[in-house]
Amino acid sequence: MSPTPQLDLASLRTHFPILARKNYLNSCSLGALSDRAEAYLDEFRERWHSMGASAWYEHWWGRLQLLRDRVADLQGAPQGSVALLPSTSAALSGVVDSVPQAAPSLAAVAGPGAAPPKRNRVVISDLDFPTLAYQFATRPELDLVILESVDGVGMDPQQYADAVDERTLFLATSHVFYATGFVQDLEALGEIARRAGAWSLIDGYHGAGQVPVDCEGSGVDFYTSGPLKWLCGGPGLSYLYVRPEITGSLRPRATSWFSTQDQFAFDLEGFHYHEDARRFEMGTPALPTVHTALGGQELLEEVGWETVFARNRALTERLMDRCHETGFSLRTAVTAEHRSAIVMIAHPDPRGAVAHLDRAGIIVDARPGHVRVSPHVYNTEDEVDQVVAELVRYRSG
């Protein structure tokens, strides 16, 4: 195993201009823009000026594939298992409309010669981001089952195991819960779904870039993510991982010339799905975001992912310690293995507190009943301490 790179924090911070202006602790909403991402965007614009459409053939096709490959590497996924889509909503919808009634293990669940059960149940949790639930709520043929968290912070895998059965089409939930930062066990989720013959669909948008992801090792069928948050690539793009063993059995209904094997044949009757995850792509990707996403991820890769993850854990623990020392209650996981860099600080006036922090040059966000603070590798200990000190000041009036 190679040694963890030493973090040169001062040098890293110079790549993110906002850090010279603000105490930026809101990476869960939008990762900071780096000069590396800007440089890639400038390159895109210059080639548009100088080459026009020919830039596609000499540069931009390669950029698309480079991003797919880098995302696959980050997420512990094989090459060819990642597609680029305009949003997580589009990715989720494409998955839901593409699957057969049940996962390939259905025969083993039903038994030899048994009639397969009708599968129309979708199991999610009440902690999932609404976008996930909305994909199923608009389909009257599906029975949406929303499990309740016992502690309002996380889910016990046994809750899913008890609910997922021969009627279940999808176990659909989050890798990291957006409102608590609780990290779920992907391997456990994949196994629960597989054992019941259901599909596992994981919304990982709040996880990628801040906690480790191992799509292949976990055995999950689908995993969505994107560059908006801790990957520091900006809005307008989503990544969809599809487990290679199931790709050939899936038929997305929303297709495009990017979904077909030979998109430049322009044959109206010659549509054939790509053999890999690209069969899910829904048209020309947002090239500006492709470039900023490459720049943001490249910079973090140079820091080293183990360094990023370790730094985020350390900043999170420091922030939690300061909150406990000053009497603030937190909505976070009890055990460190389930915590991420999303820290929910209970507050009677979250919007007022966020406005006060903004006047002090600190950018965080408000969620119902909480101030949400989300540090990243580029933040300092002093910045974490400052946000708590200002919350104490606001509490004191």
| 163-184 pLDDT per residue, tens | 999 999 999 999 999 999 999 9
- Taking residue 123's Cβ as centre, other Cβ atoms within 10 Å add up to 27
Quote the percentage of the chain above a pLDDT of 70.
94
What residue type is assigned to position 74 of the chain?
Answer: L
Is residue 196 within 8 Å of 168, Cβ to Cβ? yes
Q: Where are the beta strands (DSSP E) in the chain?
A: 23-24, 82-85, 121-125, 143-147, 168-174, 199-203, 222-225, 238-242, 343-346, 362-363, 365-367, 370-373
| pLDDT of res. 3 | 47
Compute the average pLDDT of residues 93-112. Answer: 68
Q: Find the mean pLDDT for residues 323-341.
A: 96
Minimum mean pLDDT among 189-203, 252-266, 332-346: which range?
A: 252-266
Closest among 191, 181, 227 to 74, alpha carbons compared: 227
Q: Which are the contacts of 208, defined by CB distance < 8 A and separation ≥ 6?
A: 74, 75, 225, 226, 229, 230, 231, 239
Q: Write down the pLDDT at residue 350.
A: 97
Give the mean pLDDT of the chain.
93
Domains of the chain, earliest start first: 9-30+304-396 (3.90.1150.10), 43-299 (3.40.640.10)
C-alpha span between 107 and 110 (Å, rounded) = 5
Bigger pLDDT: 1 vs 397 = 397
Residue 291 has pLDDT above 60, yes or no: yes
**What distances in angstroms separate CA 19 from CA 11, 33, 34, 319, one per listed residue?**
12, 10, 10, 18
Mean pLDDT of 344-352: 97
Q: What is the pLDDT of residue 114?
A: 56
**92-96: long-range contacts at Cβ-Cβ below 8 A with a sequence spacing of 24 or more?**
92/131, 92/132, 92/135, 92/201, 92/203, 92/224, 93/135, 93/254, 94/240, 94/252, 94/253, 94/254, 94/280, 94/282, 95/201, 95/222, 95/240, 95/242, 95/280, 96/135, 96/136, 96/139, 96/170, 96/201
327-349: average pLDDT: 96
Find the helix or strand (DSSP H, E) in which 324 lies: helix 305-325
Q: What number is the average pLDDT over the span 276-295?
A: 96
Share above pLDDT 90 across residues of the chain, in percent, rounded to a whole number = 87
Residue-level pLDDT at 254: 87
Q: What is the pLDDT of residue 204?
A: 97
Of the ranges 44-53, 115-124, 242-251, which one carries the lowest mean pLDDT score? 115-124
Helix (H), strand (E), coil (C) string for 218-248: HCCCEEEECCCCCCCCCCCCEEEEECHHHHC
* Alpha carbons 142 and 92: distance in angstroms, whole number: 15
Q: What is the pLDDT of residue 85?
A: 97
Token pair listed for 188? 């456990």
- Give the distance, in angstroms, between the CA of residue 180 and the centroid of all CA atoms in the same chain: 15
Q: What is the mean pLDDT of residues 113-134?
A: 87
Q: How far apart are CA 313 and CA 3, in angstroms?
A: 18
Task: Assign 107 a pLDDT band (cuts: 50, 70, 90).
Answer: very low
CA angle 35, 36, 41 (to 5 degrees): 90
Alpha-carbon span 22 to 149, nearest angstrom: 36
Residue range 45-57: average pLDDT? 96
Report the pLDDT value the prediction gives residue 220, as an integer from 0 to 100. 98
Residues 6 or more apart whose CB falls under 8 angstroms from that of 158 comprise: none
Q: For residue 112, what pLDDT is reported? A: 54
What average pLDDT score do residues 98-106 get? 64
pLDDT(102) > 60: no
Per-residue pLDDT at 2 exceeds 50: no
> Is the model's pLDDT at 110 over the cut of 80?
no
| Residue count of the chain | 397
Position 174 scores a pLDDT of 98
pLDDT average, residue stretch 248-271? 87
One-letter amino acid of 320: M
3-state secondary structure of 212: coil
Q: Are 210 and 341 in contact (CB under 8 A)?
A: yes
Convert 263-285 to b/e letters by CB count within 10 Å (16 or more is b). eeeeeeeeeebbebbbbbbbeeb
> Is pLDDT above 70 for 38?
yes
Q: Does residue 211 sit in helix, strand or coil?
A: strand
Least reliable range by pLDDT among 128-137, 166-175, 264-273, 370-379: 264-273
Query: What integer is the mean pLDDT of 360-364?
Result: 98
pLDDT at 104 over 90: no
Side-chain-facing half-sphere of 130: CA atoms under 13 Å: 1
- Cα–Cα dist 334/153, whole Å: 9
Backbone angles phi, psi at 270, to 5 degrees: -110, 35
